[in-house]
Structure 1
Amino acid sequence: MIKLERTERPQCIRDHGLEWIKDYLDAKRAGDKDAIKLAEAKYRQKEIQKALKKMHFGKCAFCESYISHVSYPHIEHFKPKKIFPEKLVQWSNLLWACGVCNGASYKGDNFPTAAEDGPLVNPTLEDPRDFLTFTFDETTNLAVVGYKNLRGKTTKDTLGLNRPDLSTVRSVVVKKLVFLKAMSVAHDVPAYRRLEAKRLLDEAASSKEHYSAFAITLCR
């Protein structure tokens, strides 16, 4: 997870957001399932999807995996619409996420309170590095997300940031980054090789690259 910069609201939200939220709240109060379904579809506007994908560089806001080439992305409500229906199309509440992080087994409608060591870290408002650590365990050959405080632990556990399938794929990528880091500082490696290793590592630390939180840590 990395810090994300919230971009400008899509025009459709500026033009119709308040109206869409009113329709949704009215439908929920009336218990009209068809109207609820119709109102909920508003946040899936193509313009909103395009803006979110661009803002997130095509990656999940939480696990940093690329999404579209293997699955359909989810428009994630950071504060779940089931609990906070008034935030249905609030731009500051929308994220781009993979179906696993946003699925019922992990975040889903979970939103832990302060009494439950929450809330979850919001990558558009907070720097995840203040709460989480991103390290490579050379004993197990695993790229591991750790935590610095209770909110970090709650975020890690709720989102399943060390779930086995994710950890396996991520570790293959990060292991190569660890090698590049070693190459970039090795005295017995030609200077041009060290420079190339550093260039590749810096490239991996770009926000657009998957699992860049680990590359950023290695660069530091």
Structure 2
Amino acid sequence: MIHIKKPKAPEWLVDPNGKWCEETKKAIAHYKSGATEAYDFQMYNDVNLKNELKKIFVKCAYCETSYGAVYDGDVEHFRPKGRVNEKKPQTPGYYWLANDWDNLLLACQHCNQRRQHILYGTTKLEGYGKLDQFPLQDEAKRAGDIPDIPKEEAARLLLNPCIDLPEDHLEYEPTEGVVRAKTAMGEASIKVYALQRPLLVQERKKMLILLFEQIWRVKEALVKSQNDNSETQKEIFLREFKNLINYGSATSLYSGMCRFFIRQFLKENDLGTI
């Protein structure tokens, strides 16, 4: 997971007379009336909204896997719109945020939906994936209405890539590409987003092998450039160095993991920071 800078909401999404805002008003009125049945949200499925999110989330917002080759991605409500798994008794979710730009991301099915996995390092088949989960450090701070969100933010346990710096909460081990928690937020996010599902770990490991091969090429070019100060050798080093940095680009798969090891390499060799 990496931090994603999200632009302002498109004007049509926040138009007070537009269909997205109208649906939000109807949902608020529905629940304020005391209705117990779930409101049937539709506008988050609009193709215009998904296309706008695709411009920002070129891969899954949580696990950084490409979703485009076989699936179109899920429009993900960071705070669940219909119900919240942790709320007891069950009451409506964050319905007023169903069409809120800051609450909308794009994720793969495995992170967003509930699926059966035997996670890395375990032997039991269980259901994992976010779906309606939204854990807090203190349930007493759970937002029950629109003004309560700032209070709840202080107790939020899930990483939001558009708000948080995931590198402050997650790290990676260097043999299998397994993600590890540095904080309670990191731990909860790894669990809820199922970031240790086996095929995901395998794909990260493949990228890790390629990354370490590129680090080796940069090391080799660095030594040669130190021994041979020619322009040709400098160009070779700069080319290999650029290729390494590209592994950590915002559009590259698993760039959060790649940045973790690139930063280590740069620090060890006094080559700056990214």
Q: TM-score range by the shorter chain?
A: 0.7 to 0.9
- For residues 147-206 of structure 1, give each alpha carbon's deviation from its aligned partner in whole angstroms, at most 9, with x where no partner exists: 111111111111111210111112111210111012201266674554333221111211
What is the DSSP-based 3-state SS (H/G/I as helix, E as strand, rest coil) of the residue aligned with 2:105? Answer: strand
Cα offset, 1:18, TM superposition: 3.0
The answer on whether the counterparts of 2:247 and 2:255 sit within 8 Å (CA) in structure 1 is yes
What is the DSSP-based 3-state SS (H/G/I as helix, E as strand, rest coil) of the residue aligned with 2:42? Answer: helix
- 1:87 aligns with one of 80, 93, 97: 97
Alignment partner of 1:113 is 2:116? no
The answer on whether the counterparts of 1:135 and 1:145 sit within 8 Å (CA) in structure 2 is yes
Between 59-68 and 177-186, the greater mean CA deviation after superposition: 177-186
Q: Tell me the percent identity.
A: 27
* Aligned counterpart, 1:23: 26
Instruction: Measure the CA separation in 2 of the matches of 1:4 and 1:188.
Output: 35
Alignment partner of 1:174 is 2:174? no
What is the DSSP-based 3-state SS (H/G/I as helix, E as strand, rest coil) of the residue aligned with 2:160? Answer: coil
* Aligned counterpart, 2:191: 157
Instruction: Measure the CA separation in 2 of the matches of 1:71 and 1:46.
Output: 14
* Aligned counterpart, 1:133: 171
- For residues 89-123 of structure 1, give each alpha carbon's deviation from its aligned partner in whole angstroms, at most 9, with x where no partner exists: 01000011001100123111100111388520111
What is the DSSP-based 3-state SS (H/G/I as helix, E as strand, rest coil) of the residue aligned with 2:196? Answer: coil
Instruction: Measure the CA separation in 2 of the matches of 1:203 and 1:145.
Output: 21
What is the DSSP-based 3-state SS (H/G/I as helix, E as strand, rest coil) of the residue aligned with 1:133? Answer: strand
- 2:242 aligns with one of 163, 174, 199: 199
The answer on whether the counterparts of 1:145 and 1:162 sit within 8 Å (CA) in structure 2 is yes
Instruction: Measure the CA separation in 1 of the matches of 2:164 and 2:12.
Output: 26
Aligned residues: 211
**Unpaired segments ≥5 residues, structure 2:** 83-92, 115-127, 140-154, 226-232, 264-274
Letter in 1 for 2:101: W
Instruction: Measure the CA separation in 2 of the matches of 1:31 and 1:80.
Output: 17
Cα offset, 1:216, TM superposition: 1.4
The answer on whether the counterparts of 1:118 and 1:154 sit within 8 Å (CA) in structure 2 is no
The answer on whether the counterparts of 1:201 and 1:215 sit within 8 Å (CA) in structure 2 is no
Instruction: Please report the TM-score for the alignment, with normalisation by the length of structure 1.
Output: 0.87
What is the DSSP-based 3-state SS (H/G/I as helix, E as strand, rest coil) of the residue aligned with 1:24? Answer: helix
Instruction: Measure the CA separation in 2 of the matches of 1:171 and 1:213.
Output: 13
Instruction: Measure the CA separation in 1 of the matches of 2:156 and 2:12.
Output: 32
* Aligned counterpart, 1:210: 253
Instruction: Measure the CA separation in 2 of the matches of 1:203 and 1:163.
Output: 26
Cα offset, 1:134, TM superposition: 3.0
- For residues 26-73 of structure 1, give each alpha carbon's deviation from its aligned partner in whole angstroms, at most 9, with x where no partner exists: 44554677xx33xx11122222111211111x2000000111112231
Between structure 1 and structure 2, the one with the greater Rg is 2
Instruction: Measure the CA separation in 2 of the matches of 1:41 and 1:189.
Output: 60
Between 185-194 and 14-23, the greater mean CA deviation after superposition: 185-194
RMSD: 2.1
* Aligned counterpart, 2:110: 100
Change (3 A) 1:51 1:113: same
What is the DSSP-based 3-state SS (H/G/I as helix, E as strand, rest coil) of the residue aligned with 1:79? Answer: coil
